[in-house]
Amino acid sequence: MPDTAALLNEIRSLIAAKNYRVRLHAVRHMVEEGFRENDILTAVLDRCRMLEDYPDESRCLLLGYYSMTENVSSPLHVVCDYSDNDVVDIITAYIPQKPWWETPSRRRS
């Protein structure tokens, strides 16, 4: 199992090479919350960090940001499945909100 930085770099490399799949749950959130596939890619490829890793499931939760307008950005959570070395599955993506999240990086107690 690679360390967090190596895993994040591998996920980013696969996404940059267009070796990813966006799953239905992510699409549902895109429609409901008003962001696009390109916003997910931007969130992962730009300023992104891993919040949680679930190695038993080969999944991780990433926190990135995407631009809503030229001067406004929004946090975006992206759950990736990295069980296949050749492709990353974007299981879901969503804008972190209360009551589940206190801040974009901290779950509510």
> What amino acid is encoded at 26 in this protein?
A
CA distance 103 to 108: 8
Residues 60-96: tens digit of each pLDDT: 999 999 998 889 999 999 999 999 999 999 999 999 9
Angle CA 93–51–48, to nearest 5 = 70
pLDDT for res 2: 64
Indicate the pTM of the whole model. Answer: 0.94
pLDDT for res 47: 86
In the chain, pLDDT over 90 holds for what percent of residues?
89
Report the number of distinct structural domains present in the chain.
Answer: 1
Residues 16-29: tens digit of each pLDDT: 999 999 999 999 99
pLDDT for res 69: 87
Please, which residues have CB within 8 angstroms of residue 27's CB and are 6 or more apart in sequence?
none
The CATH number of the domain holding residue 29 is 3.30.2310
What single string gives the DSSP state of each residue in 60-83? Answer: EEEEEEEESSSS-EEEEEEEEEEE
| Domain ranges, residue 82 | 4-107
